[in-house]
C-alpha cells in the first residue's frame, strides 16, 4: 500500500488497485464519499447510448436484498443520500450522511457493491425517468446544437453522444445489457474513493479492500483520432429564436495546455465581463445568450462557442468570433483584463468547493481522469501563472489553425 499526503488530505493505493483519498473534517457533522469507476459513456457499445448512466442509477437504487422501495425508505428514514450515474469517462456514486449515521453509510456502501441488484421493476422505472430527461434535452435548442456539434466532432468515437443517450436507445436497453456492462467494466482496478468528513481512512480501506467486483482491468474510452469533417449543419424546427454553435477540437485534461485553454474559454465566454458578452451581445446585439463551453475529458475534448438570439444565419456570430480571436492572437489582451479573468476563474473554482460533496467530487474527478487529486490544490496557482503569450498561442493554435463545425437550429 503506497501512501501520499498533501496539506489537506491523504491518498493511498490498496493492493487491489483501489485508490482512497480522504480528508478528516469534524464540522459540519456530515460525511461524504464519492466513488468513481473508470468507464462511463465513453465505453458504451454503439447503439446502447445511456447504458452507463442507467447502470449507475440502477445500482445505487437497490440491492439484492432490498428492492427500490425498501431502499428508498431506508435512506429517507435516516437522512442519507445515495445516488449514481455516469460521466463521459467514469461511473459515479455519491454517499452522504450525518455523522451519527456513519456506520449505516459504510454498511450501505458495502452492501451496494457486494450485493448489487438488477431487478426488472427498478430498471423499468429508471428507464422511464431517463428517457424523459433525454426528451427534455432534445427539446432544448442549445442542447440540440451542442449534441449535433459533438457528433460531428467525434464521428464514430464513443464520445459522440451525451451520457443520457436518447429515448430510442434507452427503451431498447434491458437487464442483460446492464449485467453485461457491470461484468465488463466494474472493477477495483483504478477505482477512486474520495471522502471528506468524519469517516476514517482505515474504515474506507476496510470496505473497499474487501470488496469483490468482476475481475477485469480498468477500461477507458479509446484515443480520439482527428477524423471529423468541418461542415455546417442546419436543424429546422419551430423555435422562438435561432441558436448557433461553433465547435473545434480541444486539448484533453492531461494536456499541458489544459489550464491555459480553460482561461481562454473564460476570457471569451465566462460571464458578463467576457469578450463575447461585451462584443457580440452588448455592442452588436446579436443575441441574448452567448458564451463558451470547454468540458474536461480524458481524451481529446472540444471547444464550443454558442449564441442564442437574433442573428438568423449565424454569419455575424462567426465573423464576430473570428475578429475577437484574431485580435487576441495578434495582440493578446491587457494585463488588467487578464488579471480580472484569472480572479474570476479562480473565484468560481473556490465557490465550487463550498461543500464537502464539492470538494470530494473535484478530487475524485481529477484522480480518475489522470491529473491526480493534487491538481485540485495546484489549479488556482496554475491559473495565476498563465501568461499573455500562452493565451495568444491558444488563440492561434486552437482556433486560427483549425476549421470548425458550425451548427444552427432555426425555424
- Residue boundaries of the structural domains of the chain: 2-209, 232-410
Q: Are 23 and 31 in contact (CB under 8 A)?
A: no
* CA dihedral for 194, 374, 11, 213, sign (positive or negative): positive
The residues, any chain, with a CB within 8 Å of residue 309's CB and separated by 6 or more, are 241, 242, 281, 286, 287, 288, 289, 290
> 47-87 pLDDT, tens per residue?
999 999 999 999 999 999 999 999 999 999 999 999 999 99
Q: Are 114 and 140 in contact (CB under 8 A)?
A: no
Distance from C-alpha of 357 to C-alpha of 373, rounded to nearest angstrom: 15
Domains 2-209 and 232-410 share a fold: yes
**DSSP-derived 3-state class of residue 289:** strand
What's the predicted TM-score (pTM) here?
A: 0.92
The residues, any chain, with a CB within 8 Å of residue 100's CB and separated by 6 or more, are 29
112-122: average pLDDT: 93
Cα distances (Å, whole numbers) of residue 241 to 153, 291, 310: 24, 16, 6
| pLDDT at residue 362 greater than cutoff 60 | yes
Distance from C-alpha of 33 to C-alpha of 82, rounded to nearest angstrom: 10
**DSSP-derived 3-state class of residue 2:** strand
HSE, CB side, 13 Å, CA atoms: give it for residue 27: 0
- Fold of the domain spanning 2-209: Cytochrome Bc1 Complex; Chain A, domain 1 (3.30.830)
| pLDDT at residue 4 greater than cutoff 60 | no
Query: Of 2-6, 119-123, 253-257, 344-348, where does mean pLDDT reach its minimum?
Result: 2-6
- Which residue, 144, 140, 137, 148, is CA-closest to 406? 148
- Fold of the domain spanning 232-410: Cytochrome Bc1 Complex; Chain A, domain 1 (3.30.830)
Distance from C-alpha of 221 to C-alpha of 159, rounded to nearest angstrom: 8
**DSSP-derived 3-state class of residue 239:** coil
Q: Are 187 and 16 in contact (CB under 8 A)?
A: no
**DSSP-derived 3-state class of residue 140:** coil
The total of other beta-carbon atoms located within 10 Å of residue 65's CB is 10
Q: What is the pLDDT of residue 357?
A: 93
Q: What is the pLDDT of residue 226?
A: 67
Amino acid at each position: 500500500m503506497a501512501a501520499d499526503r498533501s496539506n489537506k488530505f491523504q491518498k493511498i493505493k490498496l493492493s487491489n488497485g483501489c485508490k482512497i483519498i480522504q480528508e478528516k473534517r469534524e464540522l459540519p457533522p456530515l460525511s461524504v464519499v464519492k466513488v468513481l469507476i473508470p468507464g462511463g459513456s465513453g465505453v458504451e457499445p454503439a447503439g446502447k447510448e445511456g447504458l452507463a448512466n442507467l447502470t449507475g442509477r440502477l445500482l445505487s437504487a437497490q440491492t439484492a436484498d432490498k428492492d427500490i422501495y425498501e431502499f428508498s425508505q431506508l435512506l429517507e428514514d435516516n437522512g442519507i443520500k445515495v445516488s449514481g450515474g455516469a460521466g463521459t469517462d467514469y461511473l459515479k456514486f455519491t454517499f452522504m450522511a450525518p455523522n451519527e449515521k456513519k456506520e449505516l453509510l459504510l454498511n450501505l456502501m458495502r452492501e451496494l457493491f457486494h450485493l448489487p441488484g438488477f431487478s426488472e421493476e427498478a430498471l423499468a422505472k429508471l428507464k422511464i425517468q431517463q428517457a424523459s430527461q433525454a426528451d427534455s434535452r432534445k427539446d432544448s435548442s442549445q442542447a440540440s446544437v451542442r449534441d449535433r456539434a459533438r457528433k460531428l466532432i467525434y464521428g464514430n468515437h464513443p464520445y459522440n453522444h451525451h451520457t443520457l443517450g436518447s429515448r430510442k436507445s434507452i427503451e431498447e436497453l434491458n437487464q442483460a445489457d446492464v449485467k453485461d456492462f457491470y461484468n465488463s467494466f466494474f472493477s477495483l482496478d483504478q477505482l477512486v474513493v474520495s471522502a471528506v468528513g468524519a469517516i476514517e481512512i482505515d474504515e474506507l480501506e476496510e470496505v473497499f479492500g474487501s470488496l469483490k467486483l468482476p475481475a477485469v482491468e480498468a477500461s477507458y474510452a479509446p484515443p480520439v483520432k482527428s477524423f471529423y469533417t468541418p461542415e455546417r449543419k442546419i436543424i429546422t424546427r419551430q423555435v422562438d429564436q435561432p441558436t448557433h454553435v461553433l465547435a473545434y477540437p480541444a486539448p484533453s485534461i492531461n494536456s499541458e495546455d489544459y489550464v491555459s485553454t480553460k482561461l481562454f474559454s473564460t476570457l471569451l465566454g465566462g460571464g458578463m465581463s467576457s469578450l463575447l458578452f461585451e462584443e457580440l451581445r452588448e455592442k452588436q446585439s446579436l443575441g441574448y445568450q452567448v458564451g463558451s463551453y470547454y468540458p474536461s475529458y480524458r481524451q481529446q475534448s472540444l471547444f464550443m462557442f454558442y449564441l442564442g438570439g437574433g442573428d438568423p444565419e449565424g454569419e455575424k456570430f462567426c465573423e464576430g468570433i473570428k475578429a475577437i480571436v484574431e485580435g487576441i492572437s495578434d495582440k493578446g489582451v491587457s494585463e488588467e483584463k487578464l488579471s480580472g479573468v484569472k480572479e474570476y476563474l479562480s473565484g468560481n473554482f473556490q465557490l465550487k468547493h463550498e461543500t464537502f460533496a464539492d470538494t470530494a467530487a473535484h478530487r475524485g474527478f481529477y484522480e480518475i481522469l489522470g491529473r491526480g487529486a493534487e491538481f485540485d490544490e495546484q489549479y488556482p496557482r496554475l491559473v495565476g501563472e498563465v501568461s499573455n503569450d500562452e493565451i495568444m498561442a491558444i488563440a492561434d493554435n486552437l482556433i486560427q489553425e483549425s476549421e470548425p463545425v458550425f451548427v444552427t437550429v432555426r425555424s
